[in-house]
Amino acid sequence: MSRDISSSSGHCAISHSLELLPIPVERPPNELLALIFKVAADLPLRRHELPVPLVVAGVSTRWRAVVLSSPKVWTTIRVSARRHLAHAALFLQRSIPLPFRLGVNTEHPTRLVDSASLWNVLQPHVARCSALALCVSEDELKKWNVALREQRTSLELRLLSLTVHSYAPEELWGPPDSLLDLANVFPDLVSLRLSIAPTMYLPERLTALRLTTLNVRCTWDGAFLRHLCHHTRVLETLVLRDYSASVFAGAPLTSLPSLTALILEYGNDALVEGLINVTLFLDLPNLARLHIKGSHVPSVGDPLNPSQARAFHALRTLRLEDVAFLRPLETAAIQMVAARIDHLQLVNTPVGCCDTLVRTYPHLRTLELSAGTPLPLPVFAGISVRALPAGPAHSVPGELAFYASNIRSAGGQVEFERELRAHACSDFCALHNQSPWGDTRSDAERDADRDAERRIRRTNFEVGWGTPCRNTKGGGASFVCVT
């Protein structure tokens, strides 16, 4: 008996001492768990990986309750015709009453898409859609046009991206009583990205809009772009992809006092000629940011005539990406249009150009370089030098860049525009990873997300058992999927 009592007392002492030890696996509060899910949902998807909200909702009753009671986790809707369509209704239902952003890809020619089923899922909620990105065939775009026009509820769409990987037929932009009329269907539209062939009808459909952001390809007839510039008075950001000097060649002067950001993604190598033609065609008195991308091997082109160019006197921030200055003429052209630069960003720019560029701008105060770029330190006295953060090349707030011009696929660079038969945006993984919505957050939303990440990094716990599924970036917390 005494031996049993002694043994029992020993067990009690051990049990009491164990209670005093810190619990190896803490149970995080629901608020912090929701922050982890939100951060994880914003991370890139691996190929064939399910979206985070779907994964965590199937782990346990508690996780499901936390996810479904956290509307922010459900407000970005990514729908692919390839898979996950059955889950779209759940995403949409759980995001009520918040506005959502929708990206739809039904274009791939090897897959048949039931547009009626897709629209039946979206139709009850489409009035809440604030941003829409369509990567579809020309026939599918026709069906979307008809469905949107027949929508009786007022559409509050503000951001729109249209990508068609073939030339859209003339009748697509024809009579407004039958097909798309952007000004009538989307009266609140402020940001537009086009990867489709314009026709004689399209500029008329856009004139009535009050766009603040326009992103277009420049491989078409320049008359389309010139028409929009002539009739736009509130445009703040202009992105010209596949830009070439011929787009503005011989055009009359157009003043755009509202424009503050200009992005030129070169489709050819005529850097000097392209810049000069911009200054000849566009009077941009308030341009504050200029981003030039491309032009690795500048051609000889026409001789530079300084008397022809017009300087951007308000320009203070210049970003050069993948630009190689192989002639003194290139640096002279940059200096001519942007003489008072105080903030310079260089991405993948040869080191030998850094010294020349820094000496070019006497007012330079901030220099940002790609990580790992060696610095000739004696040149940078009095200048703040920083490393550029990793991320998308475009840093202009509010830009709708749903389909990046280049994405990584199979270890290489793949450009997907209408010329390619197979393109990476057919994959659900790419739709998630190239989403534009992170760039359209307000400053308050960005601060909230950064605070969430900092809170997670300061916490040391695990929130489940099983096979590791995903780690938060640089943090001490992780969550795992029960298997």
- Long-range contacts (CB closer than 8 Å, 24 or more residues apart) made by 166-171: 166/137, 166/138, 166/418, 167/138, 167/196, 167/197, 167/418, 168/138, 168/141, 168/196, 168/197, 168/199, 169/138, 170/199, 170/201
81 or 261, greater pLDDT: 261
Highest mean pLDDT: which range of 144-158, 301-315, 337-351, 437-451 = 337-351
Average pLDDT of the chain, as a whole number: 65
- 227 pLDDT exceeds 70? yes
Q: According to the model, what pLDDT value does residue 287 have?
A: 92
**pLDDT tens, position by position, 173-194:** 434 333 456 777 788 888 888 7
Report which of 397, 467, 473 is spatially closest to residue 38, judged by C-alpha positions: 473
At residue 306, the 3 state secondary structure works out as: coil
Structure tokens at 472: 């938060």
At residue 283, φ and ψ (nearest 5 deg) are -95, 110
- 284 pLDDT exceeds 80? yes
- 335 pLDDT exceeds 50? yes
Report which of 139, 132, 104 is spatially closest to residue 118, judged by C-alpha positions: 104
- Cα 479 versus chain centre, distance: 27
Report which of 304, 402, 465 is spatially closest to residue 76, judged by C-alpha positions: 402
pLDDT > 70: percent of the chain? 50
Q: According to the model, what pLDDT value does residue 352 have?
A: 67
Partner residues linked to 467 by β-bridges: 481
Report which of 143, 7, 26 is spatially closest to residue 81, judged by C-alpha positions: 143
Q: What is the mean pLDDT of residues 326-354?
A: 75
Partner residues linked to 293 by β-bridges: 265, 321
pLDDT > 90: percent of the chain? 3
Q: According to the model, what pLDDT value does residue 317 have?
A: 92
**pLDDT tens, position by position, 240-278:** 887 777 777 667 788 889 999 998 887 666 677 777 778
Which of the residue ranges 102-116, 171-185, 437-451 would you say has the lowest mean pLDDT? Answer: 171-185
Q: According to the model, what pLDDT value does residue 261 have?
A: 92
Which pLDDT band, with edges at 50, 70 and 90, does 20 fall under? low
3-state secondary structure 77-93: EEEECCCCHHHHHHHHH
Region of 282 on the Ramachandran plot (φ > 0 left; ψ -120 to 50 alpha; else beta):
beta
Q: According to the model, what pLDDT value does residue 396 have?
A: 30
What b/e readout covers 19-55, taking b as 16+ CB neighbours within 10 angstroms? eeeeeeeeebeeebbbbbbbbbbbeebeeeebbbbeb
Which of the residue ranges 101-115, 121-135, 215-229, 388-402 would you say has the lowest mean pLDDT? Answer: 388-402
Which pLDDT band, with edges at 50, 70 and 90, does 434 fall under? very low
d(Cα 396, Cα 408) in Å, to the nearest integer? 22
| Domains delineated in the chain | 198-341 (3.80.10)
C-alpha torsion sign, points 45, 50, 56, 59 = negative
Q: What is the mean pLDDT of residues 121-128?
A: 81
Q: According to the model, what pLDDT value does residue 260 have?
A: 92
Highest mean pLDDT: which range of 161-175, 210-224, 464-478 = 210-224
d(Cα 345, Cα 317) in Å, to the nearest integer? 8
Residue 249's CB: how many other CB atoms inside 10 A? 12
Which of the residue ranges 13-17, 148-152, 308-312 would you say has the lowest mean pLDDT? Answer: 13-17
**pLDDT tens, position by position, 210-220:** 888 888 876 55
DSSP-assigned states of every residue in 371-417: TT----GGGGTT-EEEEPPSS-S---TT---SS-S-EEETTEEE--S
Residues comprising the chain, all counted: 483
- 165 pLDDT exceeds 70? no
351 or 170, greater pLDDT: 351
Distances (CA, A) of 91 to 79, 433, 445: 10, 18, 21
Q: According to the model, what pLDDT value does residue 5 have?
A: 47
Number of H helices, E strands in the chain: 15, 19
Which pLDDT band, with edges at 50, 70 and 90, does 286 fall under? very high
Residue 343's CB: how many other CB atoms inside 10 A? 19
- 285 pLDDT exceeds 80? yes
- 467 pLDDT exceeds 60? no
Which pLDDT band, with edges at 50, 70 and 90, does 344 fall under? confident
d(Cα 351, Cα 449) in Å, to the nearest integer? 35
d(Cα 346, Cα 372) in Å, to the nearest integer? 12
Give the pTM: 0.67
- Cα 270 versus chain centre, distance: 27
d(Cα 234, Cα 401) in Å, to the nearest integer? 20
Contact (Cβ atoms closer than 8 angstroms) between residue 104 and residue 82: no
d(Cα 348, Cα 413) in Å, to the nearest integer? 15
